[in-house]
Amino acid sequence: MTPSEGSDLTELVNVGRSVAGYFERIGITRIAQLADRDPIELYERMSAAFGERLDPCLLDTVMSAVDQAEGRPARPWWHYTPQRKRLLTQRTSGASCRQSPVA
């Protein structure tokens, strides 16, 4: 899946063509659409759109993208891993990453 020409998502740190494709699958094509969004809700919508639970490290990347869209500094996706694990532990038993979602 490749991002459409109208997308600016790949301007974000950690968001390559593959991750932009995940966002586009749920109707997010512009950075501005990420501001004030719940990263967990976006990740869950992505998983539902693909019919499977996606790599939890994708949530780290979504958290990074939302932060950047809201004007916070760009940080590597793994900066968000401890926070993601805390959040998911509250909902599930937490999960481990399979591989980096950045492409």
Convert the pLDDT of each residue in 52-82 to its tens digit: 999 999 999 999 999 999 999 999 999 999 9
Percent of the chain with pLDDT over 70: 83
* Mean pLDDT for the chain overall: 88
Is the residue at 80 inside a domain?
yes
CB atoms within 10 A of CB 22: 25
The answer to whether residue 25 is domain-embedded is yes
Instruction: Please report the pLDDT score of residue 1 as a whole number.
Output: 45
Q: Is residue 53 part of a domain?
A: yes
**What total of structural domains would you count in the chain?**
1
Q: Is residue 14 part of a domain?
A: yes
Residue 59 lies in a domain: yes
pLDDT at 4 over 80: no
Residues 11-35: what's their mean pLDDT?
A: 97
State how far Cα 5 lies from the chain centre. Answer: 20
For residue 4, being part of any structural domain is answered with no
Q: What is the pLDDT, as a whole number, of residue 94?
A: 47
- The verdict on residue 22 lying in a domain is yes
Exposure string over 5-14, b if 16+ CB within 10 A, otherwise e? eebebeebeb
83 occurs within a structural domain: yes
Range of the domain at 77: 9-91
